Structure 1
Amino acid sequence: MPNTTPDAPLTGGSRDDDRLRDLALARSGLDRVAHERARTSILDELLGDPATRVVELRGERLPVRASAADDLALQLRAPVDSDRARLGLHLGRGPDGAAYLGVVSPEPAPEHASEPASKHGEEPGAEAPTWLTLRQAGEALGARDAGLFTTALALANWHATHRHCPRCGAETEPTQAGWVRRCGRDGSEHYPRTDPAVIMSVIDRDDRLLLGRGAHWPEGRFSVLAGFVEPGESFEAAVAREVAEEVGIRIADARYLGNQPWPFPSSLMVGYAATTSETDLRPDPAEIAEARWVTRMEYRDLLSSNTIRTPSGISIAKRLIEHWLGATVESVAGPSVVDR
């Protein structure tokens, strides 16, 4: 998490050592034990072991509850019989050897948060869970649970949209503990998809930050620019192309700052800081409703007056803005200005 001391630098070093650390969705505490996936009996073994810890995904939500430290923790449980009819995802093992299994349930998450704890393999009287999305819970989860949620959601999203073979159109079935789909007709194997995208702060000679509002975003929602990497393109080339396409300026350089998965549905966000000497913005109306340069003082004033909102707390976008600002958004204007 960023340093929350007001006005404290977030970079922690020289220009050559100021990469973004501890990104919310780039954390994990598990060994993925990929070698176990090829064992055809592995899911049966895990489902038959009461020591297996199960995370149940419903739609885009997992059950969470407050931890002893007033943070959030996933509500884990032992396997139940109905799990055998669900899509199983072998997510890895912890330092103690315990296995973690994701199961994708067809049941909808409760509309108003809670269900009896006993329904989830917990002792009667245990605290009932609240079903939250990754955007809602990710920042407050510990490293292990953030990694579990991110991986389970990314895999579930992939399975939901890749039920047919891209070669022949026949149905595919999950194999290798949820990490591969195999075509029942031609035997071809298909692997989880990850779509790389670049996201960048753009700074001019006066140290102003470029902010843009997406063409379909509501008034007041601003962020840094971003876009998908095209075939045959490097990350740095994608940064330059996206900035030119979206606001009509050329950058001078692009410096890598960090990356994290973004399973909405299947991206990997690669963060950069770019500089430019050009300031005449020409937004592409198909992509950008408005674009503007802001100084640090202007940005603080806009936040404090609730004129603009900052991107989600789990996003690289927020961290890129704070990297330039030199302070957390919350220390300037409080948590209410952060989109969830």
Structure 2
Amino acid sequence: MKHAETVTFGGSALDRDGALRDDADALAAAARHPAARAILFWRGKPLIKNENPASLALLPMDHPVLAQASLEGIYLGKEDGAARFACDLSAWEPDDLDAESLGGFLDPSEQHHPELPETMVFAELRRVMTWLTPREAELAATGKAVFGWHESHGFCARCGEKSQITQGGWQRKCPACGASHFPRTDPVVIMLITHGNNVLMGRSPGWPEGMYSLLAGFVEPGETLEAAVRREVFEESGVRIGQVSYLASQPWPFPASLMFGCAGVALSDEITIDPVEIEDALWISREDMMQVFAGDHPKILPARKGAIAHFLLENWLADRLD
């Protein structure tokens, strides 16, 4: 396995067992097996064991709380031969819910269901992703992404009829026109743009003070990754890019992206930002970036651990972008 595959949410080699998705009887039998387990989500937050070390909570399929699940379970695949499902508890409303804490850039809140042990809480995946093992992270990212797709695709895009969940959660079928719909992932390029010893960083409006990251943007229809890198960097910063190469990818279920990490060589260091796209952009030297990662830079905070931007910058500093 390449070092690039060690990025968060990647590299666990989960057996997704796609052949079982279309066999309802076999899926039901797999769910009844004593070793089968469920991962529980509440409004996109996975259930974790908030212990030391923390871990993804796996519930037996006959746990009473699963009877409150609001959607059919998603078949995630097999782990050590045993089925893993994702179940959604979003209809449950905590008594002490602070709605203002939900959906923000960083949600520090935790929710505890009364039928679960005190150590089990629902927590924002971006906050806890680095606490999980690679396998736990892949399971959590997959469940969150597929549930997010179901939440926004409940009706047929062809005729507007309410569609039905099939294939273990991996398809929606329209009962009226027969159209089939499958989960979609949006391709996004995120760019490690260098000019000599410097790397290009930017920040979006509304980000926490001091937060900068690599430039990124969605790939448009009919566009290659290389073309998207050059277009996005020029649109946001006015910097022209020459050579472009692929580095690593990362599933990013916030809500449904696949991040393509690319390296690009700038043809000049002159920056002209588009204030509609970004708030600021600047060049950071390798030495200054080491200071950023140490938490000692006077202006810039370290990139979020677990995100591919942090992964690419860390490996650029270590000179191991393989």
For the aligned pair, the TM-score class normalised by the smaller chain equals 0.7 to 0.9
TM-score, scaled relative to structure 1: 0.82
The runs of 5 or more residues in structure 2 that have no matched partner are 98-108
Structure 2 CA distance for partners of 1:77 and 1:277, relative to 1, 3 Å: same
Larger RCO (alpha carbons 8 Å, 6+ apart): 1
Matching residue of 2:15: 31
Matching residue of 2:302: 310
Distance in 2 of aligned mates of 1:139 and 1:30 = 18
Question: Are 1:57 and 2:13 matched, yes or no?
Answer: no
**Contact 2:112/2:122 (CA < 8 Å) preserved in 1?**
no
Distance in 2 of aligned mates of 1:43 and 1:306 = 55
Deviations 1:198-247 (A, max 9, x none): 00111003x10111111332431100100011111111111111111111
Distance in 2 of aligned mates of 1:102 and 1:138 = 17
Q: Which amino acid aligns with 1:94?
A: E
Distance in 2 of aligned mates of 1:143 and 1:203 = 30
* Cα drift, residue 320 of structure 1: 1.5
Structure 2 CA distance for partners of 1:104 and 1:291, relative to 1, 3 Å: same
* Cα drift, residue 130 of structure 1: 2.6
**Contact 1:253/1:274 (CA < 8 Å) preserved in 2?**
yes
* Cα drift, residue 85 of structure 1: 5.7
Matching residue of 1:225: 215
For the residue of structure 2 that corresponds to 1:185, the secondary structure is coil
Q: Which moved more, 1:265-274 or 1:303-312?
A: 303-312
Q: Which amino acid aligns with 2:192?
A: S
**Contact 1:46/1:101 (CA < 8 Å) preserved in 2?**
no
Q: Matches of residues 202-217 of structure 1 in structure 2 within 5 Å?
A: 202-205=193-196, 207-217=197-207
Q: Matches of residues 81-230 of structure 1 in structure 2 within 5 Å?
A: 82=67, 86-95=71-80, 97-105=81-89, 106-108=91-93, 113=110, 115=112, 119-120=115-116, 128-205=119-196, 207-230=197-220
Deviations 1:286-335 (A, max 9, x none): 0111111111222344540452123321211111221222299xxxxxxx
**Contact 2:12/2:138 (CA < 8 Å) preserved in 1?**
yes
Percent of aligned positions that are identical: 35
Matching residue of 2:55: 73
Distance in 1 of aligned mates of 2:180 and 2:268 = 48
Which of 246, 259, 264 aligns to 2:254? It is 264
Structure 2 CA distance for partners of 1:249 and 1:137, relative to 1, 3 Å: same
Distance in 1 of aligned mates of 2:149 and 2:36 = 24
For the residue of structure 2 that corresponds to 1:286, the secondary structure is coil
Structure 2 CA distance for partners of 1:275 and 1:134, relative to 1, 3 Å: same
The runs of 5 or more residues in structure 1 that have no matched partner are 1-16, 121-125, 329-340
Structure 2 CA distance for partners of 1:84 and 1:71, relative to 1, 3 Å: closer
Q: Which amino acid aligns with 2:249?
A: N
Structure 2 CA distance for partners of 1:305 and 1:279, relative to 1, 3 Å: closer
**Contact 1:18/1:257 (CA < 8 Å) preserved in 2?**
no
**Contact 1:212/1:292 (CA < 8 Å) preserved in 2?**
yes
Deviations 1:226-273 (A, max 9, x none): 001111111111111111111111112112110010011110000011
Q: Which moved more, 1:17-26 or 1:132-141?
A: 17-26
